[in-house]
Amino acid sequence: MPGEPDEEETRRHYDENVSPFVERFAADLTEAGMQRMASRVFACLLASEEGALTSAELSERLQASPAAISGAVRYLAQVNMISRQRDRGSRRERYLLHHDVWYSTLLNRDNLLTRWQTTLRTGARTLGKDTPGGRRVNESAEFLSFLQSELEALLKRWHESRDAAPGRPAPAPERGPRS
């Protein structure tokens, strides 16, 4: 179609402009502890026009095998950062970023913090809160409790701030869980 970029032009734009960002952000995520290929897939989805790509599109953009993409997608789905959606009339799946992905990811971490606190409090009682180890374990539980309450307040303030931003477009339709 006239005026639309051809496939080669689109690929060149991705290679020259988008790919360096994807690889840099993926490296940052990997350094923070995320699996390398999962980091690359997440960054690629984040930078994509629709926030959704097929396995073949991810494989082409990242120059990665379908097996590597499959493992990364499985991991990202398990940690609730993406979801799968079938294209209508096709067996092909699209992988979508969750709406408000950072917010929902941090809320999911909230459950992890609760679990850690429970384990740490049990450990502090077992060790004895008056022992050096018991005090350290109890302080860890207290820190996580503080972090959890601050995180809840912080996420609420983020939504208020984001929603009040001047010129902010209407929110995108829901495409994934918003815990």
pTM for this entry? 0.73
Query: Closest by alpha carbon to 52, among 73, 33, 34, 32?
Result: 73
Confidence of residue 164 (pLDDT cuts 50, 70, 90): confident
pLDDT above 90 for 139? yes
Higher pLDDT, 91 or 160: 160
* Residues 96-127: tens digit of each pLDDT: 998 778 877 777 777 788 899 999 999 999 99
- Provide Rg for the chain, Cα atoms: 21
Q: In the predicted model, what is the mean pLDDT of residues 71-95? A: 89
Q: Tell me the two tokens of residue 73.
A: 């997608």
Q: In the predicted model, what is the mean pLDDT of residues 75-84? A: 90
